[in-house]
Amino acid sequence: MNIPHVPVRPTLRVGVVGSGRVGAVLGAALRGAGHEVVAVSAVSQASRDRAELLLPGVPVVPVPEVVSSAQLVVLAVPDDALTDLVAGLHATGTWRPGQLVAHTSGRHGLAPFGPIAEEVLPIAIHPAMTFTGTSLDLTRLHECCFGITAPEAMRPVAETLVVEMGGEPVWVPEESRGRYHAALAHGSNHLVTLVAQAMEILRSADIDPADRVLRPLLQASLDNALASGDAALTGPVARGDAGTVAAHLDELADLPQDIRPAYRAQARATALRATRAGRLRGDVAETILTTLGEETR
């Protein structure tokens, strides 16, 4: 009996530049998919510890050695450092022709690869998730979208790598990269600030556990907002209760100085969005906006 030969999926020698929360986790995910992580770079003791935890046995070496040893180089460095890193490695002749290079920046697409665009195979694969830098993130990757930007010929490669890590590829055009990242930062980072402020207000009123009080409300609000957008708006601003809004501002007056301006800004944005959505009459919205006034602190 002749058994047809089924080619084995090729594995890649992977080097990870940056063992921060993202780099170490994606390296572990690629390793779990069958690729060989051959080297990582790490600067701080925390990043060294993270590499040892998530990528045991992988040598920690200087950046040029990571690049020279890998077929696929994952650049998991801060957004503002990416362009200079690529250019610096180009100036020292570190890149190898035909090398696959992926960065994980949300802000950038292919522009940072400008000096080496004809030399390497560039892709951008940004996981739309907040990372803890622990094995918990490996499970979360299976619910995670990755914003990918790549030359058309490299798109299947980028999509395959994302799927291998357990994620879902979402195409982001080069010209949309900045707005894509602004949306994610606004939604995720500012949500953390908002929730932390709400817990601080509750604790200032001697209400604890604040997280237990907020969790069901916030989870329901998030689900409703994702499903219905502005139609999910509730609360005093959406109802036009200017007196309640004024009372809230009074209550927040003696709390840390970031809280009342944030409440005021979000209430103003809520009033404007509720008006545009037809949820709030124009005259009622004007009353709310007048009540909010301008922050002087």
pLDDT for res 294: 62
Nearest of 93, 87, 158, 92 to residue 121 by alpha carbon? 158
Q: What tokens does 103 get? A: 């960065």
pLDDT for res 262: 97
Question: Which stretch of DSSP H or E encloses residue 36?
Answer: strand 36-41
> Distance between CA atoms of 196 and 211, rounded to whole angstroms?
9
Nearest of 261, 273, 213 to residue 237 by alpha carbon? 273
Give the CATH number of domain 13-172; options: 3.90.105.10, 3.20.20.450, 1.10.3720.10, 3.40.50.720. 3.40.50.720
Nearest of 125, 115, 124 to residue 95 by alpha carbon? 115
Tell me the sheet residues that pair with 145.
168
Return all residues near 262 (Cβ < 8 A) that are at least 6 apart.
Answer: 193, 194, 197
pLDDT for res 297: 42
235-284 tens-digit pLDDT: 999 999 999 999 999 999 999 999 999 999 999 999 999 999 999 999 99
pLDDT for res 9: 58
The interaxial angle of helices 21-32 and 45-54, nearest 10 deg, is 20
The dihedral over CA atoms of 57, 63, 66, 70, expressed in degrees to the nearest 10, equals 150
Q: What tokens does 183 get? A: 């949306």
pLDDT for res 10: 72
Residues of the chain below pLDDT 70: 1-9, 294-297
Q: What is the value of pTM for the model shown? A: 0.89
pLDDT for res 7: 37
- Report how far Cα 224 is from the mean position of its chain's Cα atoms: 21
The interaxial angle of helices 177-204 and 259-276, nearest 10 deg, is 120
